[in-house]
């Protein structure tokens, strides 16, 4: 019952990325699962999982190094053949700290944008042929995670609707821009029937979220997998909370 098909997740060696990998494997939701991370040699959790799950492929990828995108595409294609790639989860992201008004630097702004916005867009572009193949060869008649999807892991702190405090300038600005990438790609991919949406993973107890965060990585990842499994064409071009609620831009 590999209902999601072939899936690629960036930044999957820890945090929500690793949580998604675990839940997808345990629920046997994927045919092939490509877990990208910067340093496969140091990704001991992923290595451990790959012993029990032969469908897990660990790929080296620093998303800010666009010169590697073609290699990743080729490696994925070699494994999936004519089935294509059903799901791309753009999860890798950085959150420089401290980055309030007094601390924020030009370099923080630009490096955060490179990883959190430019990379997801360009990686999606690189993998688009594989996503298109999956969407067109699918037996599904409407857009869903089972047909083909690009999921951008965004954050509620990039929402204009809920922004009530001034902090984390590089991160917040990057997530607002990533949401615009989602909006634009959803228009771009309508004809190809590739579902595109932004998701908010919650405020998660990860290295990024810090110790005051509200939910565990396990709770976030488990809810996200359920929510993503339930996406409908109505979510296309939208912004969805980990629990399935819609979020305003």
Residue located via tokens 């488990």: 222
Q: How far is the CB of 28 from a second copy (least distance, A)?
A: 34
Q: How far is the CB of 154 from a second copy (least distance, A)?
A: 12
Q: CA 220 to CA 227: how far, in whole Å?
A: 10
Report DSSP state, residue 215.
Answer: B
Q: How far is the CB of 197 from a second copy (least distance, A)?
A: 13
In whole angstroms, how far apart are CA 193 and each of 90, 119, 187, 208?
A: 18, 22, 10, 33
In the complex with a second copy, the residue whose CB is nearer, 110 or 230, is 110
Q: How far is the CB of 56 from a second copy (least distance, A)?
A: 28
In the complex with a second copy, the residue whose CB is nearer, 18 or 151, is 151
In the complex with a second copy, the residue whose CB is nearer, 186 or 206, is 186
In the complex with a second copy, the residue whose CB is nearer, 101 or 211, is 101
Report DSSP state, residue 204.
Answer: B
In the complex with a second copy, the residue whose CB is nearer, 54 or 106, is 106
Q: CA 155 to CA 199: how far, in whole Å?
A: 7
In whole angstroms, how far apart are CA 157 and each of 3, 14, 17, 241?
A: 31, 21, 19, 12
Residues that bind a second copy (CB under 8 A): 66, 101, 104-106, 109-110, 113-114, 117-119, 121-122, 125, 158, 160-161, 163-167, 169, 172-174, 176-177, 179-181, 183-185, 187-188, 249
């Amino acid at each position: 019952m590999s209902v999601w098909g072939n899936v690629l997740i960036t930044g999957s060696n820890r945090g929500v990325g690793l949580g998604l990998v675990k839940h997808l494997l345990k629920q046997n939701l994927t045919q092939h699962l490509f877990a990208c991370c910067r340093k496969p040699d140091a990704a001991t959790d992923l290595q451990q999982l790959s012993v029990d799950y032969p469908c897990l492929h660990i790929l080296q990828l620093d998303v800010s190094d666009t010169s590697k995108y073609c290699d990743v595409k080729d490696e994925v294609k070699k494994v999936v053949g004519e089935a294509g790639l059903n799901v791309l989860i753009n999860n890798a992201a950085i959150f420089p700290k401290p980055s309030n008004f007094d601390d924020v630097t030009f370099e923080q702004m630009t490096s955060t944008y490179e990883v959190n916005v430019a990379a997801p867009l360009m990686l999606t572009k690189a993998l688009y042929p594989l996503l298109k193949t999956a969407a067109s060869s699918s037996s599904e008649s409407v857009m869903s995670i089972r047909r083909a999807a690009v999921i951008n892991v965004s954050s509620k702190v990039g929402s204009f609707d809920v922004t009530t405090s001034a902090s984390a300038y590089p991160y917040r600005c990057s997530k607002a821009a990533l949401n615009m990438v989602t909006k634009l790609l959803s228009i771009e991919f309508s004809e190809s029937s590739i579902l595109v949406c932004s998701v908010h993973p919650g405020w998660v107890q990860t290295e990024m979220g810090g110790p005051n965060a509200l939910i565990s990585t396990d709770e976030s990842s488990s809810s996200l997998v359920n929510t993503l499994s339930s996406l409908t064409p109505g979510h296309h071009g939208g912004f969805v909370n980990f629990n399935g609620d819609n979020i305003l831009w």
